[in-house]
Amino acid sequence: MVKSVFSIKDLENLSGIKAHTLRIWEKRYDLLQPQRTDTNIRYYNLVSLQKLLNIKYLNQNGYKISKIAKLSQVELAEKINEVSRNDLPHSLALADFKMAMINFDANHFHETHKRLSENLDFSQIFMDVFIPFLNELGLLWQTDSVRPSHEHFITGLIKQIILSNIQEIHAQQKLTTHKGVFVLYLPENEIHDIGITYLYYELLKNNYKTIYLGQSLPLESLKDFDDIYDEITFVSYFTVKPDPEELDNYLLQFDSQINPNQKHKLWLLGRQTNYITGKLPVQVQKFDSIQSLVDKI
């Protein structure tokens, strides 16, 4: 079922505008018209959420709330279109992706992506729009402003876009020589693969031989490549796994079982890497962002 009722805390989380500020705008400018439960608690509908996201967009582009409050719904839409023509459409796209997610609206998602593609290449879209959106999505999920179904829906659509761009490279590129070998994988019980899927795209684009192994791979499976390639850079993304108490031992096992001759590398991303307490093995490097890793290749 589409989420159609929002608390003021939901609006705060989805828009980034403090509940206190929203109440002031309601009282002073009548910007939103909340309904109330039998116990007098405010709640808002999808129209209110869309209007608030549009208001935020105009406010971020220099329009005063007092001026925005005087606009009709038609005038508000016209002003949004006018401003977006002269603005890098990142913040408007973020708002549109949120509405597509809340409504489970794939058409809205693809229309927004198509509009972005008119001005930005795919790397720019991913770095400047999708990554901020995914970071914000994680916070929204933690605050229960969106449901797991919303997260699965929107991340599935983003992954489809990445795979489409990967397919384009495969269709156009014949790799006869390469600069190095990369193997992308996620550790056991890790399923969050958007990060390494995007890195697959970047590595292919930069003419590296890239082997994508996907989700939940046992560490010992990495031994399969040792007799095939002399030097490999393994890349993994630790979002929720391994558990913090297992991380140091995981790296020691990589060093002793997979890389005893110190000829391979392991590059790591993801929030779980913040829990590494021991000294990193010589051939292991962690990155604080996808961009920092891309800059390295």
Give ∠ CA 274-196-109 in degrees, rounded to 5: 110
CATH class of 179-296: alpha beta
SS3 content of the chain, % helix, strand, coil (to 5): 55, 10, 30
Diameter of the chain measured on Cα atoms: 71
Distance separating alpha carbons of residues 130 and 73, to the nearest angstrom: 28
User: Where are the chain's structural domains?
Assistant: 1-85, 88-172, 179-296
**Closest to 248 in 3D by CA, of 223, 280, 214, 208:** 280
Q: What is the CATH number of domain 1-85?
A: 1.10.1660.10
Q: What is the pLDDT of residue 138?
A: 75
Is 1-85's fold the same as 88-172's? no
Residue carrying structure tokens 């209007």: 51
Name the CA radius of gyration of the chain, rounded.
Answer: 23
Q: Phi/psi of residue 268, each to 5°? A: -125, 145
Output 60 or 165, whichever has higher pLDDT.
165
Q: Which long-range contacts (CB under 8 A, 24 or more apart) does 280-286 make?
A: 280/251, 281/251, 281/252, 281/254, 281/255, 283/255, 283/259, 284/251, 284/254, 284/255
Architecture of domain 88-172: Orthogonal Bundle (1.10)
pTM, rounded to two decimals:
0.77
Higher model confidence: residue 148 or residue 219? 219
pLDDT band at 30 (very low <50, low <70, confident <90, very high): confident
